[in-house]
Structure 1
């Protein structure tokens, strides 16, 4: 039995387009995006988001981590509205804030599941109705998620299992 997906029980929001030169929805996560084989964040590009969008957040979450609460690998907020793509391994765009992940680091940290069944890595771009979520660099992922849920007006998701 799989853990629920992170947005399954939140208020529904419109979907928009998320594409990647590195990821294909449902396909295995390439090794260059894992902790032991490159640890590079994937290229992502998004479009067709709601007109009320004032900024974005980008995240990667593993709902299948053996923690009882999943595991955040990446959480970047306050991405300015004009930014509609992030290159592979790129630094955060000017103005964006990277929140400490569950590794305790303010950066992308790739997949590193324990031995056993594949985990799902949920890459999401959240369109938000404010340019600044009002969280600080030392906010937890849970607190950031609370603010994100209150301000999300659209969401685009790619889910990639690892290992295949």
Structure 2
């Protein structure tokens, strides 16, 4: 009985570990609050300037971060794919460079505008939600810059320690 109980707590504890760590990661922006409207200049046709993002509370075992911004109201249209963000980085500056790879090793994938880097909101009509998802990963991702959102999600399987979300709205 003691062995079974011990095994139960070991397994149960291991299963709870990612859940406990996942609750600690937070993602915010000084440009807008969660669930609120994004700045006008963040739109694809109104400046296409990425909002500044900040995060904290990531698990100790984090080796890198990845960020995906997509539009769930338009079949998950990817607007931004960023990965291999060093663990020493705790945010992305406004108007983040649209380069495939930055000097610190950060890489960017393709958005659905078929361009590398940030591609701002451009809803066909009405207000759309734009979800920024930050992933704390236990490794760097072995993918080339310019990859797709799908390729990144596949490469991250089994490496996600925690996830945080921030939702902005854009459109009229």
TM-score where L is the length of structure 2: 0.80
Check the 8 A contact 1:18/1:44 in 2, yes or no: yes
**Higher gyration radius (CA):** 2
**Unpaired segments ≥5 residues, structure 1:** 1-10
The structure 2 residue matched to 1:31, chosen from 37, 40, 46, is 40
Q: Deviation of residue 148 (structure 1)?
A: 2.3
- The yes-or-no answer on 1:105 pairing with 2:105 is no
The structure 1 residue matched to 2:152, chosen from 121, 144, 155, is 144
Q: Calculate the aligned-residue CA RMSD, in Å.
A: 1.8
- The yes-or-no answer on 1:129 pairing with 2:135 is no
Instruction: Quote the Cα distance in structure 2 between the aligned partners of 1:150 and 1:159.
Output: 25
Instruction: Quote the Cα distance in structure 1 between the aligned partners of 2:41 and 2:133.
Output: 18
**Unpaired segments ≥5 residues, structure 2:** 1-17
Instruction: Quote the Cα distance in structure 1 between the aligned partners of 2:55 and 2:65.
Output: 10
Q: Deviation of residue 58 (structure 1)?
A: 1.6
SS in 2 for 1:64: helix
- The yes-or-no answer on 1:89 pairing with 2:95 is yes
TM-score where L is the length of structure 1: 0.83
Match of 2:13 in 1: none
Match of 1:3 in 2: none
Check the 8 A contact 2:29/2:51 in 1, yes or no: yes
Match of 1:5 in 2: none
SS in 2 for 1:144: helix
**Structure with more of its chain in helix, by fraction:** 2
The structure 2 residue matched to 1:51, chosen from 37, 60, 65, is 60
SS in 1 for 2:54: strand
Instruction: Quote the Cα distance in structure 2 between the aligned partners of 1:74 and 1:31.
Output: 17
